[in-house]
């Protein structure tokens, strides 16, 4: 029956309306899902870890061992503070960061061998007695790679130029040139003492649930003595932009669904009028209301299944096109598409057909068998009051 109606062209406009609605919803859902996941991943890069524990005192070694042994997490420690470097008779205010091997746990640290050298990603940290500096510091002090500078009581050789640092940090750290030193050399500088303004961090990465459990346990034990940083904190601004874009696109998709629903409501009335005589014949040969209900529900189910699949395929193509437009803004490491938008698409198809079309079709159960002989027997059966209310 469904195939016959499709070949006769009576269901094509109805199916087209469902396809458009599903395509609108699935394209926005896939785009929002993948861009949101990519944004979360980028936010972890901005933190250089999955979670970070910050405090004004050095990180206890027991915390590091606990994170590694009990939770299976990778760890790194940093200490960040403002200071002054001296090169000959020149001085410059800088932002110093001391890091342990393994930093960064997320994201990418890139360095070069000079101001004009080719940059490269590295998993190493400065060797003992050496530092990596921001390009601006070399220009301000007139230095080059291989020269030496003094930091506190220590003297260091400039071994590289930082071209990209994942967790650049606060406004001051962005304003002052960066100096990256080994954590083991921190004590030798003599810069850390009572009252020093130092931000100590323990970075952890690994299983997200394990990282959350570890930092939440520390927060419960230490209270206000520690501050827990998450990727969401780092990517809040980007996340808000993505959320606004998702809501804007979602509103467009919702309006598309409403227009498609109205098209379904108008189309199904014409379709139902074409079915009155066939239903009257079925009633005349003994078809009961329950049997007719099952037939209409089954037809709409299969129509929703097939139209939903076509609409989801179209939505996937549309979302891929939109994703290509913003790929340069969010990076190339975009996670693969998930299954949830496909489920949402089929639910949209079911809602469009069962909410907008089924109430009208169910009125055909009341077609009298006499309609076979008398045309006026089913007059006024398909009035629009109840179907419109259900659709609304």
Q: Is residue 223 part of a domain?
A: no
Question: 376-382 long-range CB contacts below 8 Å, 24 or more apart?
Answer: 377/280, 378/276, 378/280, 381/276, 382/269, 382/272, 382/273, 382/276
255: left (phi > 0), else alpha (psi -120 to 50), else beta?
alpha
One domain for residues 278 and 176: no
Question: Closest Cα partner for 374 from 277, 255, 298?
Answer: 277
* Residue 171 clears pLDDT 50, i.e. is over it: no
One domain for residues 320 and 353: yes
- Backbone φ and ψ for 285, nearest 5 degrees, come out as -100, 15
Question: Closest Cα partner for 91 from 58, 140, 51, 126?
Answer: 140
Return the pLDDT at 52.
Answer: 92
Q: Is residue 174 part of a domain?
A: yes
Between 201 and 388, the more confident residue is: 201
Q: Is residue 217 part of a domain?
A: no
One domain for residues 126 and 154: yes
- Tens of pLDDT, residues 40-68: 666 677 788 889 999 999 999 999 999 99
Between 186 and 377, the more confident residue is: 186
Domain that holds residue 184: 51-205
One domain for residues 127 and 266: no
Question: Counting beta carbons within 10 angstroms of the beta carbon of residue 84, is it exposed (0 to 12), middle (13 to 18) or buried (19 or more)?
Answer: middle
Domain-terminating residue out of 205, 226, 253: 205
- Tens of pLDDT, residues 180-227: 999 999 988 998 887 788 999 999 999 888 999 999 999 999 888 899
- Alpha carbons 318 and 332: distance in angstroms, whole number: 18
One domain for residues 6 and 30: yes
* Residue 76 clears pLDDT 80, i.e. is over it: yes
Contact 71, 206 (CB under 8 A): yes
Distance of alpha carbon 311 from its chain centroid, rounded? 23
Q: Is residue 227 part of a domain?
A: no
- Tens of pLDDT, residues 295-340: 889 988 998 999 999 999 999 999 899 888 877 766 656 778 888 8
pTM of the model: 0.62
One domain for residues 198 and 241: no
Please give the structure tokens belonging to residue 123: 């998993």
- Alpha carbons 270 and 268: distance in angstroms, whole number: 5
One domain for residues 79 and 128: yes
Dihedral, 78, 79, 82, 88 alpha carbons, nearest 10: -80
- Tens of pLDDT, residues 88-123: 889 999 999 999 999 999 888 999 988 888 889 888
One domain for residues 312 and 256: yes
Split into its structural domains, the chain has a count of 2
One domain for residues 103 and 131: yes
């Amino acid at each position: 029956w469904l195939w016959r109606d499709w070949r006769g062209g009576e269901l094509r406009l109805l199916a087209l309306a469902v396809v458009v609605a599903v395509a609108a919803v699935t394209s926005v859902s896939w785009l929002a899902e993948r861009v949101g996941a990519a944004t979360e991943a980028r936010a972890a890069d901005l933190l250089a870890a999955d979670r970070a524990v910050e405090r004004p005192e050095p990180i206890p070694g027991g915390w590091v061992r606990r994170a590694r042994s009990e939770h299976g997490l990778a760890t790194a420690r940093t200490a960040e503070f403002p200071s002054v470097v001296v090169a000959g008779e020149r001085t410059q205010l800088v932002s110093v960061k001391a890091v342990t091997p393994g930093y960064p746990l997320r994201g990418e640290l890139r360095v070069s061998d000079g101001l004009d050298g080719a940059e490269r990603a590295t998993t190493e940290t400065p060797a003992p007695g050496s530092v990596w500096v921001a390009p601006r510091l070399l220009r301000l002090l007139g230095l080059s790679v291989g020269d030496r500078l003094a930091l506190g009581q220590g003297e260091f050789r400039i071994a590289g130029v930082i071209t990209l640092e994942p967790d650049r940090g606060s406004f001051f750290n962005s304003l002052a040139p960066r100096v990256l030193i080994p954590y083991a050399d921190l004590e030798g500088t003599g810069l850390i003492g009572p009252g020093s303004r130092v931000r100590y961090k323990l970075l952890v990465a690994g299983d997200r649930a394990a990282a959350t459990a570890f930092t939440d346990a520390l927060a419960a034990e230490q209270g206000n003595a520690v501050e827990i940083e998450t990727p969401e904190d780092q990517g809040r601004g980007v996340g808000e932009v993505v959320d606004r874009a998702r809501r804007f696109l979602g509103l467009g998709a919702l309006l598309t669904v409403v227009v498609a629903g109205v098209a379904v409501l108008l189309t199904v009335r014409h379709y139902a009028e074409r079915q009155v005589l066939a239903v009257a014949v079925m009633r005349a040969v003994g078809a009961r209301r329950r049997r007719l209900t099952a037939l209409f529900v089954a037809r709409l189910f299969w129509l929703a299944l097939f139209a939903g699949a076509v609409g989801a395929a179209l939505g996937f193509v549309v979302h891929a096109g939109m994703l290509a437009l913003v790929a340069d803004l969010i990076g190339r490491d975009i996670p693969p598409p998930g299954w949830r938008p496909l489920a949402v698409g089929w639910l949209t198809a079911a809602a469009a057909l069962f909410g907008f079309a089924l109430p009208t079709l169910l009125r055909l159960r009341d077609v009298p068998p006499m309609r076979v002989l008398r045309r006026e027997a089913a007059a006024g059966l398909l009035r629009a009051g109840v179907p419109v209310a259900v659709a609304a």
